[in-house]
Structure 1
Amino acid sequence: MTTNSAERPPVAAIAALGLTQIIGYGTLYYSFSILAPDMARSFDWSTEWIFSTLSAALLIGGLAAPLMGRWIDRFGAGRVMTCGSAIAAAALAACAFAPGKIAFVTALIAIETASNLVQYAAAFALLVQIRPRVAQRSITYLTLIAGFASTIFWPITTALHAQLSWQNVYLVFAALNLAVCLPIHAWLARGTGDIGKREASGAARRIEPSIPASIRTPAFILMVAGFALESFVNAALLVHMVPVMSALGLGAMAVMVGTLFGPSQVLSRFINMVFGGRLPQLTLALISAVLLPVALVLLVVTAPSVPGALVFAVVFGLGSGLSSIVQGTLPLALFGSEGYGRRQGQVLSIRLVVSSTAPFALAFMMGTIGVSWSLGVAALLGTAAVAAFLAIMRLTRPVGRPEIIANAGEA
């Protein structure tokens, strides 16, 4: 790898990963909400029970994430993602052929565990292992492409389900993971298999930590806390966005307002790609954290105003879209590229465990204290995330901040 090529984002790898991320998120996550009512009828369950099984599967998948991170560092993200595509295809097929509830739940757990092997955390690690010096920029480009997963797969799933049973839709999705994602991941694995040898020989230009060892542990704890709180707020609102806005008096406009969330996520990633390159990753993390509680306060204060709800959807989408980027780039900027997969696994595990409880927690609060107060609690949790990132800034300012800025400039 020459110096010049090491400083350029791997365009082919980003484009290929973008396709697999769209398929991965579309088939393993976004399709579930469309197919869930038919699944419930198949097993004589309520829709609430079906979604509770998804939450349980996400929780168990989150507990397995640290092991996934260690595998990524040991074997290379490409190999892990290749195996993940095979497991995802097998799990989707097993779900389709499940003869009863226990087999279905077991297969669903396998699906959500496999998703950790092929989605953002693994893809970010792969980009770090391919070209560490430009990984921050590469992650931004990847999230911009993958941001269209819901926009593409909600209508695809709906169209397929109009002609096929949910079981056959899952079989089609299994074939996509096997025929498209697996070969792409196998191709990418060829350049990242012997991670230890590549680093030892100097072929990979590592990014060193920008903060001293003495403050890495508290900085990591604060970072994980911030990400977990953001994930809680995101997960709670994404599931209940339309019901929340309906309860606030927006009526039929609630669905239209909700549709602005996805495009706003993509917009935030595009804005960051164009203008955010010179900002420290810690500053971007703080901005993303601030936008979430600000959006919630705007919604509560302006309800039932439609313009206010539109502003809420845009601001909330901007914060959520930026958050997905910094969850990949901030650990790299603060702690360097060595052991990146392990750290991503730890962050993902805590985020999934926390976010899996969020929809139920918000539903309980809305039934107990009302929608407006529930949103106020969510805004307070979002503000706590802001405080966590401010604490990292205070912790790193005397010794680390200039290096963080330098790293962000290089990426």
Structure 2
Amino acid sequence: MVAALGLTQIIGYGTLYYSFSILAPGMASDLDLTLSQVFGVFSAALFVGGLSATYIGRQMDRIGAAAIMTAGSALAALMLALCAAAPSLATFAIATVLAEICAGMVQYQAAFAAVVESNPQSAPRAITYLTLIGGFASTLFWPIATALCTHLTWREIYLIFAALNFFICMPIHFWMMRTAKAKSAAGTATHKRQIVIGAIPAHLRYRGMILVSSAFALTGFTLTAILAHMVPMLGSLGLGGAAVVIGALFGPAQVLSRLINMVFGKRLLPPMLAVLSGVLIVSGTLILLISGSWLPGAVAFAVCLGLGSGINSIAQGGLPLYLFGSEGYGAITGKMAAARLAVGAGSPFVFAATIEKVGLGSALLANACLGFIGIAAFIAVMLSCRRQSPAAA
């Protein structure tokens, strides 16, 4: 199941997120918009998608994550096709917004919930494996989208992406849904009687939710802003064709961080992972700020950012389970995802506008400052958390 989910995460993130920055210039030219306006549409779509995360999380607890993912894949394909056929800006904007709502139904939030539903006790390990596979999304889809742009229009590329979601992701998610129902009907879903008890005391639960949600939101803003502009930003620094190659290092670095964590990180608790992810993301931002067009500095930036992003994805799935337990996991992660995505939604537009107004250096510095605040929130969570032994009931 984890291997199959990993494939759908590569396609889900590649088609619904990572490829947008590559296709955005073509969209702007075709729709007679500025690049910042196109990213404004994308930011609005991310914001609405973030607001829907809480509802999606509750529905995953109610009817199962695999069922939500099956519907999400079909709808994502439909929305991508609608974007490709959009005759006007209004249709394009509506379809983009709906596509990002669908993204919340098929990406990590839903995949983590599916893993926790399958077996809460082994979920932390499975989440690491899942993110290990999903980390190839940017590595594959940035070069793929770039190559396709030389031969096809963005509309034709979106039709290909729609087909990937419909003919690959949807059947996998449907198979998962049928498998879960078959196990339940056969009375073999014993794991549903197993729960993971959260480490955070009950009287600190609300405070913990606020701190963790804020920390993920700020870190997500920092990361999303850079990822949405990564390849064009590196190109603007004078790195030329090397920008795509450097950007492609982000994916392997994500995979490397997850592989290192899988092998050596057994004693590193989720709060510590979250702090480490924030430190790496901010470090990468500062390296690029200082090094500018220096090629080794750009490489170090991409690697640090990838390492931090890889660990951050593990923390997004593992930290809520560690702190709050497996009961109501879908609703809990939905609330956190709503805060993270809603705050991060404006980052592509804000970052683009900041670059236009005050320059790339000031934009990177402001981004790093927000990242430092996120790190402080993660540290507060780590200090306030008292570890309790997980128990099964």
TM-score, structure 2 length as denominator? 0.90
Instruction: Summarize the Cα distance change of 1:356–1:201 in structure 2 as closer, same or farther, 3 Å threshold.
Output: same
Kindly indicate whether the alpha-carbon contact (under 8 Å) linking 2:291 and 2:297 is maintained by their aligned counterparts in 1. Answer: yes
Kindly indicate whether the alpha-carbon contact (under 8 Å) linking 1:296 and 1:312 is maintained by their aligned counterparts in 2. Answer: yes
1:231 equivalent among 220, 235, 239:
220
CA offsets, 1:50-101, max 9 Å, x none? 2221111111111111110110010100111011111112212222222322
Structure 1 CA distance for aligned equivalents of residues 18 and 307 of structure 2 = 19
Q: Partner amino acid for 2:333? A: Q
The aligned counterpart of 1:109 is 97
**Distance apart, 1:20 and its partner CA:** 1.0
Q: Partner amino acid for 2:273? A: L
CA offsets, 1:246-268, max 9 Å, x none? 67676776555444322212211
1:356 equivalent among 320, 345, 360:
345
1:141 equivalent among 123, 129, 136:
129
Work out the number of aligned pairs and report it. Answer: 391
Q: Partner amino acid for 1:262? A: G
Structure 1, unaligned runs of 5 or more: 1-12
Structure 1 CA distance for aligned equivalents of residues 188 and 47 of structure 2 = 34
2:14 equivalent among 26, 43, 66:
26
Q: Partner amino acid for 2:262? A: M
1:54 equivalent among 16, 24, 42:
42
Map 1:288-299; keep pairs closer than 5 Å: 288-299=277-288
Structure 2 CA distance for aligned equivalents of residues 213 and 196 of structure 1 = 31
Residue 167, structure 1, aligned to residue 151, structure 2: no
**Distance apart, 1:153 and its partner CA:** 2.4
The aligned counterpart of 2:309 is 320
Structure 2 CA distance for aligned equivalents of residues 154 and 300 of structure 1 = 23
Deviates more, 1:187-196 or 1:333-342: 187-196
Kindly indicate whether the alpha-carbon contact (under 8 Å) linking 2:73 and 2:166 is maintained by their aligned counterparts in 1. Answer: yes
Kindly indicate whether the alpha-carbon contact (under 8 Å) linking 1:131 and 1:204 is maintained by their aligned counterparts in 2. Answer: no
- SS in structure 2 at match of 1:215: helix
**Distance apart, 1:372 and its partner CA:** 3.5
Instruction: Summarize the Cα distance change of 1:64–1:225 in structure 2 as closer, same or farther, 3 Å threshold.
Output: same
The aligned counterpart of 1:89 is 77
Q: Partner amino acid for 1:129? A: E
The aligned counterpart of 1:262 is 251
Residue 40, structure 1, aligned to residue 12, structure 2: no
Deviates more, 1:124-133 or 1:262-271: 262-271
- SS in structure 2 at match of 1:190: helix
Kindly indicate whether the alpha-carbon contact (under 8 Å) linking 2:119 and 2:191 is maintained by their aligned counterparts in 1. Answer: no
The aligned counterpart of 1:131 is 119
- SS in structure 2 at match of 1:207: coil
Q: Partner amino acid for 2:32? A: D
2:323 equivalent among 324, 329, 334:
334
**Distance apart, 1:137 and its partner CA:** 0.8
CA offsets, 1:203-238, max 9 Å, x none? 442111122210011011111111111111111222
Residue 277, structure 1, aligned to residue 266, structure 2: yes
The aligned counterpart of 2:144 is 156
**Distance apart, 1:29 and its partner CA:** 2.1
Kindly indicate whether the alpha-carbon contact (under 8 Å) linking 1:246 and 1:252 is maintained by their aligned counterparts in 2. Answer: yes
Instruction: Summarize the Cα distance change of 1:273–1:350 in structure 2 as closer, same or farther, 3 Å threshold.
Output: same
Structure 2 CA distance for aligned equivalents of residues 233 and 133 of structure 1 = 32
Structure 1 CA distance for aligned equivalents of residues 241 and 163 of structure 2 = 38
- Please give the root-mean-square deviation of Cα atoms over the aligned residues, in Å: 2.9
Q: Partner amino acid for 1:50? A: V
- SS in structure 1 at match of 2:200: coil
2:207 equivalent among 188, 199, 218:
218
Instruction: Summarize the Cα distance change of 1:217–1:166 in structure 2 as closer, same or farther, 3 Å threshold.
Output: same
Kindly indicate whether the alpha-carbon contact (under 8 Å) linking 1:137 and 1:277 is maintained by their aligned counterparts in 2. Answer: no
Q: Partner amino acid for 1:233? A: T
The aligned counterpart of 1:182 is 170
Percent of paired sites with the same residue: 50
Structure 2 CA distance for aligned equivalents of residues 195 and 56 of structure 1 = 40
- SS in structure 2 at match of 1:209: coil
Instruction: Summarize the Cα distance change of 1:102–1:365 in structure 2 as closer, same or farther, 3 Å threshold.
Output: closer
Structure 1 CA distance for aligned equivalents of residues 149 and 245 of structure 2 = 23
2:3 equivalent among 15, 19, 30:
15
Instruction: Summarize the Cα distance change of 1:89–1:247 in structure 2 as closer, same or farther, 3 Å threshold.
Output: closer
Kindly indicate whether the alpha-carbon contact (under 8 Å) linking 2:76 and 2:162 is maintained by their aligned counterparts in 1. Answer: yes
**Distance apart, 1:368 and its partner CA:** 4.8
